[in-house]
Amino acid sequence: MSKILIRSGKLITASDIVEADILIEGEQIAEVGKGLKASDAEVIDASGKLVMPGGIDPHVHLDLPMFDTVSSDDHYTGGKAAAFGGTTTVMDFINQPDEGSFQSNLDAWHAKAEKASIDYAFHMNVTRIDDDILAEIPRLVDEGITTVKMFTAYNGRLRLQDGEIFKVMRVAAEHGMLPMVHAENGDVIDILVKEALVAGHTAPEWHALTRPAQGAADAVLRTAMLAAQAGSAVYIVHLNTAGGLDQIRYARGRGLPVMAETCPPYLFFSIDDLRGPDGAKWICSPPMRAKSDNVALWGGLEDGSIQTLGTDHCPFYFDGSRPIEYEGEMIAIPGKELGKDDFTKIPNGLPGVGDRLPVMWSQSVGKGLITPTQFVALTSTNVAKIFGLYPRKGCLMPGADADIAIWDPDRELTYGLAYSHHRTDYNLYEGWKLKGFPQKVFLRGHLIVDGDQWLGRRGMGKYLRCQPGAEVL
């Protein structure tokens, strides 16, 4: 069995910072301690470096069909980009099939993910219910899926009615599963979008103007209270508003098991970014809001009202008519240009899976806004705990998978497309000066990123079965 000794690094976990060695045997961490000896191990000197559990991104959309195209990273390219940013596990969403049981899309997503380059788990979207579907939800647990995502928006497509959400939550709670909710007000959005188009408002900023922030606050509170009535915990995905955060605090303050994720763009960008000539680059749902929302969400990370940082990685080219080079091939995939005359036709989603850790390290820990241990909790440990992957993932303990990022806190770069590895033609953080990057990244003991070198392989990612009855944080 191969052995690797990572010597003299500063280990950062969700609870501690300690100087110690890590011995990896095969795919797992075998020992953690000071002065470890293993004469037959390959030794990696990590002095002056930080050693963290590989990042876990709770929210990505790889190879996702949307409008007349598909998100431009698949399970190979998205995993590779993630790894360069220090992330070793992603959680992807399966669409519910338009008819029949979940099975056809379970099979389809497993087939797509055969090329995965890092480990992955699945969430299931539930966008249509009847008695058969309700009966089938608990069987997802046998498939390793313990989460169901529902939508209070996208009327006529993805949305469930409140009573339907309540029914799904009740089934989920009975079986140790966790409902996840995309919380916006679908009825109001529907009306405002129709009115905007009639009035000839087709520019990207109308994407945000037709999805008012109050609708997110209303939907977060409604979701929290539906969960309370169903006796269920709930996880709000991609929280983007101060008002939504207020409702999370209100619910948690009353002891309700309500958790929330936010994503880096909601901490940095606002509707102003949609107003530029390249505004479509920032189009995703829910949308960028006001600078005051950015500030409030930072507060939610600092005080623990928000438990995870995901990305909602769902990239599209800005100009998909122009091919870009990817691993020696020229590739064009239709993207944001599909909506150049109509904001409702711009594919919704942003790149970010590889940006998450370097951008957040620099902007949060680097600026003293959160501590290194909070950083690890938000980007790895809490995710593993909430989704039933802990302690296999999300920690540096004997027996855990040896998913490890050796981090160089002194490496400085002007970040952007030239450094990030997403398969798309733009980066949201173009020109940002960042400090602190992964130097080496291990996936289950295999070195997959070494500096600027990619050593990972198509198909080396493993499917992870999430355990039901996971922690509520």
Please give the structure tokens belonging to residue 262: 């936010």
Pick 238 or 393: Cβ nearer ligand URP: 238
Q: Collapsing DSSP states into helix, strand and coil, what is residue 400?
A: coil
Using CB distances below 5 to 8 A depending on partner kind, what does residue 54 bind out of ligand URP, Zn ion, none?
none
Torsions phi, psi for 186 (to 5 deg): -60, -35
Q: By CB under 5 A, tell whether 182 contacts Zn ion.
A: yes
Contacts of 457 (CB under 8 A, 6+ apart): 117
What is the distance between the alpha carbons of residues 353 and 442, in angstroms, rounded to a whole number? 17
- How far from 4 is each of 26, 115, 204, 447, CA to CA, in Å? 8, 26, 50, 10
Candidate list 215, 310, 320, 349; residue touching ligand URP; CB under 6 A: 349
Among residues 336, 325, 378, 287, which one has the least CA distance to residue 56? 378
Pick 213 or 284: Cβ nearer ligand URP: 284
Q: CB–CB of 24/7 below 8 Å? A: no
Using CB distances below 5 to 8 A depending on partner kind, what does residue 233 bind out of ligand URP, Zn ion, none?
none
Size of the site for ligand URP (CB under 6 A): 8
Q: By CB under 6 A, tell whether 182 contacts ligand URP.
A: yes
Pick 429 or 442: Cβ nearer ligand URP: 429
Q: Collapsing DSSP states into helix, strand and coil, what is residue 375?
A: helix
Q: By CB under 6 A, tell whether 348 contacts ligand URP.
A: yes
In angstroms, what is the minimal distance from the CB of 385 to ligand URP? 22
- Contacts with Zn ion in 299-338 (CB under 5 A)? 312
In angstroms, what is the minimal distance from the CB of 312 to ligand URP? 5
Q: By CB under 6 A, tell whether 90 contacts ligand URP.
A: no
Computed on alpha carbons and rounded to an integer, the radius of gyration of the chain in Å comes to 21
Pick 171 or 314: Cβ nearer ligand URP: 314
Q: Collapsing DSSP states into helix, strand and coil, what is residue 185?
A: coil
In angstroms, what is the minimal distance from the CB of 454 to Zn ion? 26
Pick 178 or 402: Cβ nearer ligand URP: 178
Q: By CB under 6 A, tell whether 314 contacts ligand URP.
A: yes
Q: How many helices (H) and strands (E) does the chain have?
A: 14, 21
Candidate list 10, 49, 61, 336; residue touching ligand URP; CB under 6 A: 61
Return the amino acid letter for 129: I
At which residue do the structure tokens 């800005």 appear? 318
User: Per-residue contact track with ligand URP, 278 to 307, x per CB under 6 A?
Assistant: ------xx----------------------
Omega of the bond leading into 265 within 30 degrees of 0 (cis): no
Chain residues binding ligand URP by CB under 6 A are 61, 182, 284-285, 312, 314, 348-349
